[in-house]
Chains A and B, each alone.
Chain A
Amino acid sequence: MKYLSTGNEACGEGAIRAGCRFYAGYPITPQNELTAYMARRMEETDGVFIQAESELAAINMVFGASAAGARAMTSSSSPGISLKQEGISYMAGAELPGVIVNVMRGGPGLGNIAGSQADYFQATKGGGHGDYRMIVLAPSTGQEMFDLTYEAFALADRYNNPVMVLADGMLGQMMEPIEFDDNIKPSGIVEKPWAMTGAKGRAAGSIKSLLLKDGVLEEHNKKLQEKYTSMAKEVRCETVDTDGADVILVAYGSMARIARECMGILAEHGIRAGLIRPVTLWPFPYDVIRGIAAKCPRFFVTEMSAGQMVEDVRLAVQDDSKVSFCGRMGGGVPSVDEITEQIIGSGKKKI
């Protein structure tokens, strides 16, 4: 079936179809359609919806629901995600699955409510305290808001780890057609023998992240790091026309759509442009970028930020290629003209 839906609502439906039956959230723009959607759909699917008293409470309700064995989700936008970082770190420490959606807005501070990509560092480099990692999925269409949120639950359960869906205000509020099989069933359902269900017929269990005895926490961290290493196989990346390209555009989320527009304009000017679109921002597709960098000397990264993912792109190309950047902050969106003029301008000097 095809549906016309906002990205936020597509995200909510993806969660419902994945078997999410517990949602706790707190209102913040530009993700409010998602919270409202879950309020309605949870009632219709015998799930639990709670409008929590704060983002702190919401993520900790998810902590409890996940510990109890349910597929659980919370969503917010940038300032609210900052508050959730405590709970995300605790979930990572206690190895609890769960899905956190961040529909990013301009920052820092209260910022504004326009779409932004300024939480890349926070999402991919920790955000909360301690050595932890989580898979970060970056949709770039309403369809992917559905698809990637649906998949996020299976990934969370596969690794007993929080997973973040990192979108932005434009994606959240834009209406687009989405399509899915109406009979779609939750995937990746696993047994959860560790879940808190009451110690019936088994030894009492505990879920904790406090490991005081000498060396025990270090061992736990080593085990976690091995798990994070194993997550590398989940890396996903879309590449378009990268063979023989004069310049490689790198962008994710909404910016990847603008980058696609740029490819056509650049072609009119005789510049063959390719696109690399990371779908997982962590694990980051270093190897894909590195492989393409060996063949193309020019990279151009564009983001709705002062330049965050560009650091990972530079890390990937390892000085084999020149990496340029065009970004705007605080809700600004780099335009097709801004991007192409920079590429054509610098291209003229080189050619």
Chain B
Amino acid sequence: MTEKITRPASMKDVAMHYCPGCGHGLIHRLVCEVIDEIGVREKTIAVAPVGCAVLAYDYWDFDTLEAAHGRTPAVATGIKRVHPDKLVFTYQGDGDLAAIGTSEIIHAGNRGEDISVIFVNNGVYGMTGGQMAPTTLIGQTTATSLYTRRPEKEGYPLKIMEMMAVLPGVVYLERTSVHSPKAVLATKRAIRKSFEIQLDRKGFSMVEVLSPCPTYWGLSPVKSMERIEKEVVKEYPLGTIKDVC
């Protein structure tokens, strides 16, 4: 018997604007599958970042806002405090979360805000043309690290999850990836766990998803997935970083 794979009810039936091989489409879908499975579409409010996922409301069939660049966790804080019974999550790229929004993410975590954060790390600013991000790997060439990222000039990749782990208000942190079917399933499990932690009012949780950017990595989609598996995970190891639930 053939099982038909259908589109999640929380996902609009439209073509996405993302580049071929981009991880956002996959991760968007995982979010929708989890929302459908736990039956919270009608009580979900998402906050999208400035960056490639700024148009998330075109794809998600639940309430969604845009926040100013990096202010995403502050906007989510305002929503969640007004509606403590709703599922409120932010969906942020590495520029949004790890550069301009480091203050907001750290303090939302430190307050133990009852929100979930999906942190999509592809190591570059995709929307604005592939500039260097705080998460760009040493030796990686980008539009603004033409001579590669050199520690002595551009500093080191910023490990947000490890930084967040020291905060008592943060209860669950897991780094996952979408480079293989197994990794995709692990990502889905982590997102589900994060949402369930929030609905149980246990505190702040965050899932970092290592994601490919074939366009600005200058690699094919397949080679991009291989790069995550061989190179990116060395800097950003997969697995649970904190779980005190």
Distance of B22 from chain A, by nearest CB (Å)? 18
B89 contact set on A, CB distance < 8 A: none
B68 within 8 A of A: yes
Known: A87-B71, A200-B42, A207-B65. A50 touches B77 (CB 8 A): yes
0/1 interface trace, chain A 60-73, chain B, CB 8 Å (1 if under): 11111111111010
Residue of B nearest to A54 (CB): B103
In this complex, how many residues of chain B approach chain A with their Cβ under 8 Å: the count is: 36
Q: A63-B78, A68-B79, A72-B78 are in contact. Are A196 and B71 (CB under 8 A)?
A: no
- Using CB atoms, name the residue of chain B closest to A207: B65
B75 touches A206 (CB 8 A): no
Question: Could you tell me which B residues sit within 8 Å of A by CB distance?
Answer: 41-45, 47, 54-55, 57, 60-68, 71, 74-83, 86-87, 103-104, 106-107, 111
Q: Which residues of B contact A60 (CB under 8 A)?
A: 67-68, 71, 74-75, 78, 104
B68 in contact with A86 (CB, 8 Å) = yes
State whether A57 and B104 are in contact (beta carbons under 8 Å apart), knowing that A64-B47, A198-B63, A208-B66 are contacts in the complex: yes
Q: Is the CB of B78 within 8 A of A67?
A: yes
Q: Can you add 16 more A-B contacts, CB < 8 Å, to A63-B67, A63-B71, A196-B63? A: A22-B82, A48-B81, A54-B103, A57-B104, A60-B75, A60-B104, A61-B77, A63-B75, A64-B47, A64-B67, A64-B79, A198-B43, A198-B83, A207-B66, A210-B54, A210-B55
Residues from chain B with Cβ under 8 Å of A65 in the complex: 78-79, 81-82
On whether the beta carbons of A68 and B44 are closer than 8 Å, the reply is: no
The 3 closest A-B pairs by CB, nearest first: A64-B78, A206-B57, A60-B74
Interface bin, chain A: 35 or more
Are A198's CB and B42's CB within 8 A?
yes
Which B-chain residue is minimally distant from A197 (CB atoms)?
B83
CA gap between A52 and B71 in the complex, in Å: 12
A329 vs B43: C-alpha distance when bound (angstroms): 52
Closest chain-B Cβ to A16's Cβ sits at a distance in Å of 16
In the complex, residue of chain A having the shortest beta-carbon distance to the beta carbon of B55: A210
Q: Assess the A53–B78 pair: CB atoms within 8 A.
A: no
A153 sits at the interface (CB 8 A): no
Query: Taking beta carbons and an 8 Å cutoff, which residues of A are in contact with B?
Result: 22, 24, 48, 50, 52-54, 56-58, 60-70, 72, 86-87, 90, 94, 196-201, 204-210
Determine whether the beta carbon of A199 is less than 8 Å from that of B78: no
**A-B CB pair tally, cutoff 8 Å:** 128
* Docked complex Cα distance between A205 and B57 (Å): 8
With A50-B81, A197-B86, A200-B42 in contact, is A64–B63 under 8 Å at CB? no
Question: B82, A70: Cβ atoms under 8 Å?
Answer: yes
Q: Which residues of A contact B43 (CB under 8 A)?
A: 198, 200
Q: A204–B75 contact, CB under 8 A?
A: no
Q: Are B63 and A205 in contact (CB under 8 A)?
A: yes
CB pairs A–B below 8 angstroms (27 shown): A48-B81, A50-B77, A50-B111, A52-B74, A53-B104, A57-B104, A60-B104, A64-B47, A64-B67, A64-B77, A64-B78, A67-B75, A67-B79, A68-B79, A68-B82, A86-B68, A87-B71, A196-B45, A196-B65, A198-B42, A198-B62, A199-B41, A199-B61, A207-B65, A208-B57, A210-B54, A210-B66
When A198-B86, A204-B60 are in contact, do A61 and B65 touch as well, CB less than 8 Å?
A: no
- Tell me whether A204 and B63 are in contact in the complex, defined as CB-CB below 8 angstroms, given that A56-B74, A198-B43 are known contacts: yes
Q: Are B68 and A87 in contact (CB under 8 A)?
A: yes
Bound complex: CA A62 to CA B68 (Å): 13
Instruction: Judge whether A64 and B76 touch: CB under 8 Å.
Output: yes
Most A CB within 10 A of own CB, among B43, B66, B76, B80: B66
**CA–CA, A52 and B103, complex, Å:** 10
Please name the residue on chain A nearest to B56 by beta carbon: A206
Question: What is the minimal beta-carbon distance from B105 to any residue of chain A, in angstroms?
Answer: 10
Compute how far the CA of A204 lies from the CA of B56 in the bound complex, rounded to whole angstroms.
Answer: 12
Which partner residue on chain B sits nearest A201 by CB separation?
B42
How far does the Cβ of B149 sit from chain A's closest Cβ, in whole Å?
Answer: 27
Return the chain A residue nearest B104 by Cβ: A57
Across-interface contacts of A196 in B (CB, < 8 A): 45, 63, 65, 79
A90 surroundings in chain B (CB, below 8 A): 68
Instruction: Please pick, from A52, A204, A209, the residue contacting B66 in the complex, using a CB distance under 8 A.
Output: A209
| Residues of A contacting B67 in the complex (Cβ-Cβ under 8 angstroms) | 60, 63-64
